[in-house]
Amino acid sequence: MGVIHVKKCFPTVLAATLALGLAACGQPADNNTGNTASSQAATAGQISVTSKAGDISVPADVSKIAVLDYTSLDTLQALDATDKVIGLPLSSNLPASLASFKTDKYADFGAVNNVNLEKLAAAQPQLVISADRLQKQLDALKQVAPTYYYSLDLNNYWQSFHEQTLNLAKIVGKTTEAEQKLKALDEEAAKLSAKTQGKTALIVLVNNDKLMAFGKHSRFGLIHDKLGFTPADESIKVGTHGQSVSYEYIAEKNPDYLFIIDRASAVTGKTGGAETALNNDIINQTKAAKAKQIVYLDANDWYLMNGGLNAMHNMIAEVSAAVK
């Protein structure tokens, strides 16, 4: 990964941004005594939320959000709050469901794993929404504007997903809508889980010629932890990048369902690589292959937007459609 070199004008841009923010904070308050405390808070109040980046406060009517994470962008789109988005990383492969953001209306802040800090500061956002792929730039992001860090607790994925979604909804004034959508997802997940009891599954990420298995409490562990499939291997090591495995390993575990995520499809947009890699004599002899239960999951939803509100609906629906 290349190192971004920020031009020397960045401190000037950043200083100007901070100065504007301080000037805004210094505006005299409306002293109309006819207003109640609650109405004053609604007019000139702040929304406070906490994330891995710390406690932040943003205007209750926040209107300039830099969204640097496709998961969060997916959620804002689901909540019909995209009017508050001023820019995003457009240099990365943009999922088809977010294609409407690829216009001159939105600033391009670089890539999802390497943000152009100078462009970000020049846009003067009121809020930055970041995520795990930008962990190394977090301190720099916090110098630009209050930063919310979207991150799921894999040991408590479903509750964490609820909390993160509701935090974003609180920021954009869409709590009721989020609660309704989350309730629907709870029902969808419970219905699917009732159908998967006793069925074994193995989740494999295909990265060109490499195979990585994921189990419970992993980034793709939703399949086991919430959707009810029994892990074909209970001993898979938990890690961001999974456990390296072979075709022989898959045949040995011989799951009822083999769920495949093609990383190259998400990162480059090129499809078919995983199907080609797994079309061999070893895999074709497995139960999953013979029963036509090798399921190629949508890599955009599972790899790039995992935890997004729309993506979550798609993920559950996709698995549900595969269960016989």
Q: What percent of the chain has pLDDT over 90?
A: 81
| 18 lies in the same domain as 83 | yes
Q: What is the mean pLDDT of residues 318-322?
A: 97
| 78 lies in the same domain as 206 | no
- Is 142's pLDDT higher than 70? yes
C-alpha dist (Å) from residue 62 to 57, 166, 229: 10, 16, 41
pLDDT band at 230 (very low <50, low <70, confident <90, very high): very high
Q: 101, 133, 151: which is the final residue of a domain?
A: 151
Does a structural domain hold residue 175? Answer: no
pLDDT band at 75 (very low <50, low <70, confident <90, very high): very high
| Mean per-residue pLDDT over the chain, rounded | 88
CATH number at residue 216: 3.40.50.1980
What integer pLDDT is reported at residue 137 of this predicted model? 96
- Is 9's pLDDT higher than 70? no
Express the helix, strand and coil content of the chain in percent, nearest 5 each: 45, 20, 35
CB count within 10 Å of CB 292 equals 9
CB count within 10 Å of CB 155 equals 12
| 215 lies in the same domain as 275 | yes
Does a structural domain hold residue 265? Answer: yes
| 224 lies in the same domain as 111 | no
Does a structural domain hold residue 34? Answer: no
Does a structural domain hold residue 101? Answer: yes
Q: 112, 131, 151: which is the final residue of a domain?
A: 151
Does a structural domain hold residue 5? Answer: no
- Is 241's pLDDT higher than 90? no
Contact 74, 97 (CB under 8 A): yes
| 86 lies in the same domain as 192 | no
Does a structural domain hold residue 112? Answer: yes
Q: 107, 135, 151: which is the final residue of a domain?
A: 151
| 127 lies in the same domain as 57 | yes
What integer pLDDT is reported at residue 281 of this predicted model? 97
Does a structural domain hold residue 310? Answer: yes
What integer pLDDT is reported at residue 268 of this predicted model? 86
Measure the CA–CA gap between 149 and 55, rounded to whole angstroms.
Answer: 10
Q: What is the mean pLDDT of residues 207-213?
A: 93
pLDDT in tens, 13-37: 444 443 434 333 333 334 443 333 3
pLDDT in tens, 76-122: 999 999 999 999 999 988 999 999 999 999 999 999 999 999 999 99
| 234 lies in the same domain as 141 | no
Q: What is the mean pLDDT of residues 172-181?
A: 98
Which residues have a Cβ under 8 Å from the Cβ of 281 and sit 6 or more positions away? Answer: none
Does a structural domain hold residue 206? Answer: yes
Measure the CA–CA gap between 235 and 89, rounded to whole angstroms.
Answer: 37
Q: What is the mean pLDDT of residues 32-55?
A: 64
**Long-range own/partner contacts, residues 285-291 (CB < 8 A, 24 or more apart):** 285/251, 286/250, 286/251, 286/254, 286/255, 286/258, 287/254, 287/255, 287/256, 288/202, 288/254, 288/255, 288/256, 288/257, 288/258, 289/258, 291/256, 291/324
pLDDT band at 239 (very low <50, low <70, confident <90, very high): confident
| 86 lies in the same domain as 213 | no
- Is 200's pLDDT higher than 70? yes
Contact 66, 86 (CB under 8 A): yes
Measure the CA–CA gap between 71 and 301, rounded to whole angstroms.
Answer: 9
- Residue span of the structural domain in which 312 resides: 182-322
| 133 lies in the same domain as 211 | no
| 196 lies in the same domain as 316 | yes
Print burial letters for 186-200: b (CB count within 10 Å at least 16), e (below 16).
eebbeebeeebeebb
Total of domains in the chain: 2
What integer pLDDT is reported at residue 44 of this predicted model? 55
| 246 lies in the same domain as 123 | no
| 194 lies in the same domain as 315 | yes
Q: What is the mean pLDDT of residues 185-208?
A: 97
Print burial letters for 37-51: b (CB count within 10 Å at least 16), e (below 16).
eeeeeeeeeebebeb
What integer pLDDT is reported at residue 12 of this predicted model? 41
Q: What is the mean pLDDT of residues 232-251?
A: 92
